[in-house]
Every structure is written in C-alpha cells, then in structure tokens.
Amino acid sequence: MGNKILMKGAEVLGEAAVKAGCRLYFGYPITPQNEAPAYMAKRLPEVNGTFVQAESEVAAINMLYGASAAGHRVMTTSSSPGISLMMEGVSYCAGAELPVVIVNVMRGGPGLGGIGPSQADYFQATKGGGHGDYKIITLAPTNLQEQADLIFKAFDLADKYRIPVMILSDGLLGQIMEAVEYKDEIKPEDLAKKEWAATGRDPKREKNLINSLDLDLDGLERHNHKLQKRYKEIENTEVMCEEYKTDDAKIVVVAYGTTARIAKTAIDKVREEGLKVGLIRPITLWPFPSENIKNALQKENVKAFYVFELSAGQMIEDVQLCVNAKKPVNFYGRLGGNVPSPDELAEKIREIY
Amino acid sequence: MNFELCASGFGGQGVMAIGQLLSYAAVRENKFTLFLPSYGPEMRGGTANCVCMVSDKEIGSPVTQTHKNAIVMNTPSFTKFEPTIIKGGNLLVNSALINDKSNRKDINVFYVPANHIAKEAGHQVAANIVMLGALLKIENVAKYETIEQVIKEKFVAKGQKVIDINFRALKMGYDSV
C-alpha cells in the first residue's frame, strides 16, 4: 500500500479523471459532490486543462457534447437533480455516438429531495433517462479505490464503444475519505487518435459530421440497428460482478455500491452465527450481470434472494427478470437519504433464513 | 485490529481533525482506514461529528449505530452519543465544557478537562489534540510518533510555534489519563 493517499470521495473522482487523461471538466455545483468541481478548478490548470463552471447543468452536458465531438476526454459530475437536467444532452450524446463520462453522486429524491446518500436513480441510469432507444454503460463503485479504478475504466469503455458512461456513486461515497492508489497515469497525447472526431477540415479524408438528427426514416432505422448491435456486444463482453461467499449460500443477497459494503458486514455477522449467506454485487448495472443471478438460481443450495437498495426497489426488477418467479426475491430498502446499519440488514436476513 | 471512533462537538472544536489525523496516521502505518464526516443541518448550533475506522482488513460498512470509542467535546454531543457506546467501550468527555457525568457502569469513562489543559499547553484551540493524546493512551490505534508526524504535516504552514503547542497538548493529553 506504498503510494496510497487519503482523499475525499468527490476529489478522487477528479484526480482519477486527470490521471486517466481527462483535461476538460464542465459542471455546476450541487451537494454532495461540490468537492469534485472545486478540486478540478484547482487541479486542471496545473496540467494545462480547462475547468468551466457552466451556467447550468444543461449547459454543462452540452459543453461535454462539444468537447467530445472534438475528440477530447471530458467529464462532468453532479447529483440527482442536476443529472435529471442533463438527460436531454445524454440522449444527444448517445445518438451522436459521443464518449463522455458522467458521474452521478446520488442523493435522496424525488425533486430537490435532500443531501443524504441514495440509490433511487437506478432506473434513470440503466433504463434510459432521456428519450429514444439508447443505453449507457453504468458502473457502480463500492469503495473509493474502486471509484478511482472505475473512472479509468469509464473513459476506456466510452472511447471503445463511443458511448456515454455513467458512474453511479452516492452521497456516502462522495463524502467519505479512504486511502486510494492510482494505478496508472495516462497522458492525453498518448491516447489513440479519434479518426471520427471533428478536428477541422482535412481534404485527404471524408468530412466528419457529429450529429444526432436524421430525418430519413430508413437512415435513422439503420442507425438505431447499429446502436442496438453495439449494445448487444457490450452486454456480451463488458459485464463486471463480484461474488462474495456465494458457494454454499442458502440466501443470496444482491446489492451494489454503498449498500453492498454494508451488506458484506451484515453477511460476516450472520455467518458467525452459522447462517449461510452470500452476496452478488453488480459492478456494471448496465450491462446487468444476469448470468451471475441465473447461475445462483440453478444451484440447489440457494433458496431465496434478498435485494437491498437505498430505494423503494429498482434493481430488484432486473433480479426478478432473471429469477423469473422460480425462487422468492425479497426486498428491503431505506429511502430519502437514510442508510441502513449492518445490524439492520443482518436482522432482515435472520427473519427469512 | 478493528478500531472505531466517533468524535463529536460544535463547529470550530476540531472534531473533524481528530478523525482525519487518525486516518492519515493509519495510511502511514499501512492500515485500512475510513473517515466519514457528518455536517448537514447540524452545522449551526448543534453537533458536528465524524467517524474514523482503522483496521488490518478491508473496511466494510461505513455506518454504525453504536460506537466502540467516542470523544465528546460539548454537552449536546454527550447527550447524543453517551447511550451509543458499546459495552466495554470508551467515552472521553471534555469535562472543561461538560458538567454531566455518565451513570453507565458497563463502559469506561474518562473525564479530560481538554480546554484547560490546552490553555496550559499554549492555546485553547488545541483541546482536540489533548483529547487525541488521551485516546492514544487508551487505544493502541497508532504509534505516538506517527501521530506527531501527521500533526507536524498538518500544521507545517502555521509555523514551528503552532506545532510545538500541539505537541505539548498531545503529550499532556496522553499523560492525563
């Protein structure tokens, strides 16, 4: 753990982006992630980057659109109400095939809600959010080291598939401090050149046009089929998931992000009492790790699933799709920015064991 | 090792610094650590608090309902956190500002007149470091020298005089329990 430094979650987002070769950040402040724009305002000028505090989240996402169209790695961070404002722009980025990285440090909703940690934007992130048939890759870190690692991953995936990638963090992961080690440092000039980018007219090649408008019905249908094919490929190759003590489990807990680490502590507690409980922790929320759930479903020893979320039940629908009513899927969630304690989750597990 | 502390007081008493210094020390000693601040609407008037965890293993849940150790710097913090200490846990009370006494027999309570000791050490504002010193004596969470190192780093911009005051406060706190 030689090069570990203690940093606040929101600042980790910024430093990891810089280390991943991002030199452009556009955003608008909102609690609980204000330390991210504050950090970038200080950090980016040191590496010849540019920080702009946009006049609104709508402006910020469209600045991302422009910077990405010009071939740059670019990021924004916000929290739930701000992310809602960005959704039109995210749909445009998806349509125009633009790689952008968006971080949602989720807080309690709906509306302005509160500033406590939440996971109530799962549907928005994984099922659309904006209009049109599109998907965005959604990554859910569970601690600050993973939050740093997934920023690198997000930029790589965005560039590889020309797709928006969202990091689904939460108020707790934004505010805690943990030791983080940055595993790489990428210089923007070492990144592969984006041949599709609008970097100025070059008579030696075809014009590069970045656009999400196509009034030709057949043309737009072809474009949609192309996007769908790409989404299929992502579903087949980019799933990430952690399994914890699932081998002999009678109850399989499914949880992500902050809730997953609380569940892990709860599982360790009930394991000491002899209860066989494991955890499936999706790291990619889309593509959802359906195979992990289906494999658990096949196992004789697995009697039931238990989904824990900081919401009224959103990811549970993806779990239910895989389970297909063949085994019970239980649910427990805390709302409005409240977070359950490990004892609370342990008690829930004991109730159904 | 599985250390956990809740430090609580009003704004300006440096309770966040107590947790942060312990976390910085933990990183130096290659341990896992987590620092969770809590301000919110409590920032004005009531209590602000933080949780610091240090472990040899990866840290799971950042939230706990109960606490193994608590440092309380003012009366609202005493009222809020005294009942949350687990059996056999430690409660460090800033008795310079808190007149209440704990009636609990199942926890260890230490009364440290932190503000008075800090004044003697050179300045009242080092009361948090006095409490940190007392905690170090009670709980073997970090080496004394490591804490001195991280204190030095934190106050280096403020000059040697400030560092010396904090070193004295740390020592006097350590010797007070």
- Residue ending a domain, among A206, A235, A264, is A235
3-class SS of residue B74: coil
Mark whether A177 and A259 lie in a shared domain: no
Determine the Cα–Cα distance for residues A16 and B32; give it in Å rounded to an integer: 20
Mark whether A189 and A245 lie in a shared domain: no
Residue A155 in any domain: the answer is: yes
Mark whether A132 and A12 lie in a shared domain: yes
Q: Domain containing A85 — which CATH number?
A: 3.40.50.970
Domain count, chain A: 2
Confidence category of residue A51, pLDDT binned at 50, 70, 90: very high
Residue A75 in any domain: the answer is: yes
Name which of B69, B52, B139, B63 is nearest B107 in CA terms.
B69
Name which of A80, A50, A48 is nearest A64 in CA terms.
A50
Mark whether A271 and A133 lie in a shared domain: no
Which residue in the block uniquely carries the two structure tokens 């009930």?
A270
Q: Domain containing A252 — which CATH number?
A: 3.40.50.920
Measured between CA atoms, the residue of chain B closest to residue A178 is B34
User: pLDDT tens for residues A131-175?
Assistant: 999 999 999 999 999 999 999 999 999 999 999 999 999 999 999
Domain ranges of chain B: 2-175
3-class SS of residue B58: coil
B-contacting residues in A 54-113 (Cβ below 8 Å): none
Sign of CA dihedral A181, A187, A188, A194: negative
**Domain B2-175: which CATH class?**
alpha beta
Contact status of A266 with chain B (Cβ, < 8 Å): yes
Mark whether A49 and A121 lie in a shared domain: yes
Residue A203 in any domain: the answer is: no
Contact status of A265 with chain B (Cβ, < 8 Å): yes
Contact status of A262 with chain B (Cβ, < 8 Å): yes
Mark whether A141 and A276 lie in a shared domain: no
Domain hosting residue A274, numbered range: 241-352
Is the pLDDT confidence value at A3 over 90? no
Name which of B94, B148, B139 is nearest B117 in CA terms.
B94
Our measurement of the distance from residue A291's CA atom to the centroid of its chain's CA atoms, rounded to an integer in Å, reads 19
Residue A245 in any domain: the answer is: yes
State whether B33 and A115 contact (CB < 8 Å): no
Sheet holding A101-106, edge to edge: A50-53, A24-27, A74-78, A101-106, A165-170, A137-139, A284-286
- Residue ending a domain, among A235, A252, A281, is A235
User: pLDDT tens for residues A57-67?
Assistant: 999 999 999 99
Residue A211 in any domain: the answer is: no
Mark whether A258 and A184 lie in a shared domain: no
Residue A204 in any domain: the answer is: no
State whether B60 and A4 contact (CB < 8 Å): no
What is the pLDDT tens value at each position of chain B, 177 positions in all? Answer: 899 999 999 888 999 999 999 999 999 999 999 999 987 554 556 678 999 999 999 999 999 989 999 999 999 999 999 999 999 999 999 999 999 999 999 999 999 999 999 999 999 999 999 999 999 999 999 999 999 999 999 999 999 999 999 999 999 999 999
Q: How much is the pLDDT for A1?
A: 43
Mark whether A178 and A254 lie in a shared domain: no
Contact status of B27 with chain A (Cβ, < 8 Å): yes
- Amino acid at site B128: N
State whether A266 and B63 contact (CB < 8 Å): no
Contact status of B49 with chain A (Cβ, < 8 Å): no
Residue A205 in any domain: the answer is: no
Q: How much is the pLDDT for A228?
A: 98
In the Cβ-directed half-sphere of A27, how many Cα atoms lie within 13 Å?
30
User: pLDDT tens for residues A282-330?
Assistant: 999 999 999 999 999 999 999 999 999 999 999 999 999 999 999 999 9
Determine the Cα–Cα distance for residues B70 and A68; give it in Å rounded to an integer: 49
Mark whether A14 and A125 lie in a shared domain: yes
